[in-house]
Amino acid sequence: MQLKHKIVALSILPLLLAVAVICALVIVQNQRLGEQQAQLIENAILSSKRAELKNYVAMALSVIAPLHAGGQGDARARQQALEALARIDFGQDGYFFVYDRKGRNLMHPRQAELVGRDLWNLTDPHGLPAVQALIESATRGDGFQRYVWQKPSTGQVTDKLAYVTMLEPWGWMLGTGIYLEDVDRATRQVREEVAGGIHDTMVAIATIALVAVLLVFAGGLTLSVREHRLADSTLQSLNRRIVYLQEEERSRVSRELHDGISQLLVSIKFQFELAGHQLEAGQPDGLATLGTATERLGSAIGEIRRISHDLRPSLLDTLGLPAAIGQLAAEFEQRGSLAVVYRNGLHDVRLPDGVAVALFRIVQEALTNIERHARAGTVLIDLEPCVNGVQLQVQDDGIGFDPRTIERPQGGIGLRNIRERVEHLGGRFSLSSTSGHTGMRVILPVPAA
């Protein structure tokens, strides 16, 4: 992202975050208030219906009171009581029902097929043993029970609130109930109104946020567009110049080490060898000293050549990138425990100097990281052409790591350098890592010429 885009993003993201938090708070508060309102309405309606049911049962008890008091053991009196209760109704679905203690239905004016049946184990769609619950509620004395039952007028199963009481000594459970469709309808209406209010509020907040984001975005784009472009162009030019000077300086140091210090040390080595031959006959100690000096000078020459090669490999200028990477892979394989497999799909194709240097440095950095940190046994380097460019893949079988560490200030400097090189040349960089496999893929564009 360019700097102006980052500034715009830093302006918009807090705004969007604040809008999101406000929306979440509005939704939570409205839903909470809606549930509280629905609960209050439901409690008020249910309280009214409980009082209504108690009145209905009291009326039924007053109707059969003479029969119950004067014919406690008379079967005819019981039958007359059932017939009287069956004739009492209120509304289309208001009726009374009677069960004995064992759950056998004795009277049901709306569902005659239930009369005489043992309904002790009957359960509603929610798994509640309805008749058992009614008898238990009547026995305890609280009387109210909510369950699901079929509504006679529509045939649909819906919630029902019943009030029951025990008739002693007949052992009857007498009760009635009211279907709660109006309660569900009222609470559903409240929830729908709350949902509609939330929707309208969200639309209003989203509209305001969109207008604000557009204003911020437009303002960010119009703030010194020409100056931003000039600054970006200058920065890119400076970056290219820094990279060019860096490589130029490395080439100069490489030439000085190879053509100056290295030749000088070689001549000194020859002089020490000659002196050793001259002193061989008469002075053995001097010969041993000169031999040690010669050995050390040889090591120094080898080290200087290694430094020279690290700064700017000569094969990169003479034979090209594929051969330079091959030599680099061979050196790493010789001096360490890594088995390096190099597959060259470019053969002897010459690449532009900037691309060749970048790919060589990327391979050099990748091998160094693998040698130091990966604990790998095998490394695969794959160099091949691709559409409008060249592709480099480096894979190892090491312990792996978290690729997100390259974004942290305290780690991943080498990988960040690789990524910056690739982005500077307009290429693509990808990295994946798990335990046992780490893969890096680089694609750089190459002009057709």
In sequence order, which ranges of 257-384 are alpha helices (DSSP H)?
Answer: 262-279, 284-311, 314-318, 321-335, 353-369
pLDDT band at 21 (very low <50, low <70, confident <90, very high): confident
* Crossing angle of helices 225-256 and 413-424, rounded to 10°: 110
Among 50-59, 142-151, 330-339, the least confident range:
330-339
Q: In the prediction, which pLDDT does 133 show? A: 92
pTM beyond 0.85: no
d(CA 173, CA 166): 5
Domain 314-445 bears CATH identifier 3.40.50.12160: no
Tally helices (H) and strands (E) across the chain: 11, 10
Q: In the prediction, which pLDDT does 181 show? A: 79
**Torsion angles phi and psi, residue 92, rounded to 5:** -70, -35
- Tens-place pLDDT, residues 42-79: 788 888 888 988 998 999 888 888 887 765 557 888 88
**Contact status, residue 177 vs residue 145, Cβ threshold 8 Å:** no
Is residue 16's pLDDT more than 90? Answer: no
- Tens-place pLDDT, residues 244-264: 757 766 776 676 666 666 766
- Higher-confidence residue of 195 and 47: namely 47
Q: In the prediction, which pLDDT does 117 show? A: 92
Nearest residue to 223 (alpha-carbon basis) of 7, 52, 79:
7
d(CA 39, CA 16): 34
Q: 3-class SS at 223?
A: coil
Q: How far is CA 346 from the centre of its chain?
A: 40
What does the pLDDT average to over 91-105? 89
Is residue 399's pLDDT more than 60? Answer: yes
**Contact status, residue 65 vs residue 77, Cβ threshold 8 Å:** no
Q: In the prediction, which pLDDT does 265 show? A: 72
d(CA 251, CA 360): 14
Which residues, 6 or more positions from 192, have their beta carbon under 8 angstroms from its beta carbon?
A: none
pLDDT band at 3 (very low <50, low <70, confident <90, very high): low
Is residue 319's pLDDT more than 80? Answer: no
In CATH, the number for domain 1-223 is 3.30.450.20
> What mean pLDDT value characterizes the chain?
80
What does the pLDDT average to over 343-365? 85
What does the pLDDT average to over 180-193? 77
Give all strands of the β-sheet with 389-396 in edge-to-edge order.
Answer: 339-344, 378-386, 389-396, 437-445, 428-434
Is residue 371's pLDDT more than 80? Answer: yes
In sequence order, which ranges of 88-180 are alpha helices (DSSP H)?
Answer: 130-140
Domain boundaries, the chain: 1-223, 226-306, 314-445
